Amino acid sequence: MIAKADGARAHERLKAETDAACSYDIFGSPAFVDGETFWGDDRLEEGLAWAAGRHELQTLNHDEKD
């Protein structure tokens, strides 16, 4: 297991994942991105609500359009 983690494939994957995170302006972990970034475990519920279209800010924006 440790040898695999230190192998070239693992290093390539880490670089690819880090590059992807940087493209989303993620600076910490955990982070959740779905058009909006939610950072930290304490924001998990907000991130899930956003992904489901049930976040209070999405509801407010929808109500204003009606």
CA 23 to chain centre: 11
From 21, 52, 53, select the one nearest 37 (Cα to Cα): 21
**Percent of all residues in the chain with a pLDDT value above 70, rounded to a whole number:** 91
How far apart (Å, rounded) are the C-alpha atoms in residues 19 and 15? 6
Q: Kindly report the pTM of this predicted structure.
A: 0.53
Looking at the predicted structure, is the pLDDT value of residue 65 above 70? no
Helix (H, G, I), strand (E, B) or coil at 41: helix
pLDDT digits (tens, 9 = 90+) for 15-37: 999 999 889 888 777 888 888 88
- Integer Cα distance of 27 and 1 in angstroms: 28
Task: Say what the pLDDT of residue 7 is.
Answer: 92
The residues near 33 (Cβ < 8 Å, ≥ 6 apart) are: 24, 26
Q: Is the pLDDT of residue 41 over 80?
A: yes
